[in-house]
Amino acid sequence: MGLLKKGENWYIDYYQGGRRKREKIGPSKSLAREVLLKRQNEVSEGKYFPERSKNILFRVFADKYWNLEGRHLKAKGIKGVLNTFKIQFGNKTLSEITSADVQNFYNMTADRTSAATANRQINFLSPLFNRAKEWGDFHGDNPVAKARRRREENKRLRFLSEEEIKNLLNAADARLHPLLACAIMTGMRKGEILGLRWENVDLERHMIFILKSKSGKAREIPIGKRLLEILSSLVPKANGAVFEIPEITMRRKFARALEDANIMGFRFHDLRHTFASHFVMRTGDLPALQKLLGHASPQMTQRYAHLAQEHLFAKMEKFDASMPVEPLSLPQKGIA
């Protein structure tokens, strides 16, 4: 009863109920020793269950997850992330994957991309192990639980100036112009704009209805006079897409418009920042902005708070200049 190595893999050998048991653990001797100690304790305490010895390769479980659940989810990129996990952990069983393995994967991802990307991936890996437990494919502790995450540096806040807005809209062709105007005047996400349908636009009440946003909540966005004119010019229909343009065509036209307008380092999502920044600078109303953007918490809207302060300073300067208050003229020293 103990540890046994065959080839590159370690096995544990023990007895339960008078019967000899042997489990393949993997290339880690320390893990084999840990599992052996755990099995010994389970046997002595009468808590041993044969199904705990089940070992399923991560890549096999990843395919199982995709077929049963992943392919039915609306979130984009799940298949790609699963493939990334399979490259890293595919030939290990679920029980062989340690916290150190997860931390190493996280560090490599964060170094290669960003802390935000690494955090999103690791946050998806953890539920996989939880689901494996629910489906009876894994019985250990979730190795993702102890992974240390880095702090996200979310400093990017690129938005267009008034002059840049004019240049971009002038450079956009007839199919792209109304779509860009909608983004700039509402702060809607790209997916929300491309998925917007006439059934969810009420021109009489001047309202756009987002039935399901990124936060999972519905929201309403008022339509201003200028945007109302633009949407009305598209010849509204009873149903169907508002902006009849494929995403790949939109991307190509957007890139061309940016080039023609001489705007560098700008993404489509930055149009959302453009709306938010100009809204705050003109109103200073962060709670209203939170509702319009559909942010789940006020903290997400706080990134625009400094613009609200600048707005208040500008208003105060205007107020100060208009008030008939002058400093008191005091006599200079030495003058009788």
And the tokens for 40? 């010994």
Mean pLDDT is highest, among 20-29, 263-272, 277-286, for 263-272
Is the Cβ–Cβ distance between 59 and 96 less than 8 Å? no
162-319 CATH fold = hpI Integrase; Chain A (1.10.443)
Residue 32's pLDDT band (cuts 50, 70, 90): confident
What percentage of residues in the chain have a pLDDT greater than 90?
Answer: 38
Instruction: Specify the pLDDT at position 137.
Output: 86
pLDDT category, 17, cuts 50, 70, 90? low
pTM beyond 0.85: no
**Range with lowest mean pLDDT among 279-283, 294-298, 305-309:** 305-309
Q: What number is the average pLDDT over the span 270-285?
A: 89
Q: Enumerate the H helices of the chain as residue ranges.
A: 29-44, 58-68, 78-89, 99-112, 115-134, 162-171, 177-186, 190-194, 225-232, 247-260, 270-283, 286-293, 298-301, 305-322
SS3 (DSSP) at 308: helix
Give residue 85's pLDDT band: very low, low, confident or very high (50, 70, 90). very high
Given this model, what pLDDT does residue 156 score? 61
Q: Any idea what DSSP says for residue 285? A: -
**What pLDDT is attached to residue 53?**
45
Q: Residue 273 in contact with residue 157, Cβ under 8 Å?
A: yes
Task: Please state the rounded mean pLDDT for residues 168-178.
Answer: 94
What phi and psi values does residue 77 have, to the nearest 5 degrees?
85, 5
Per-residue confidence (pLDDT) for residue 333, from 0 to 100: 59
State the residue for tokens 């399923």: 56
**pLDDT value at position 54?**
59
Question: What are the residue boundaries of the structural domains of the chain, listed by start?
Answer: 2-53, 58-134, 162-319
Each residue's pLDDT tens digit, 184-230: 999 999 999 999 999 999 999 999 999 877 766 788 999 999 999 99
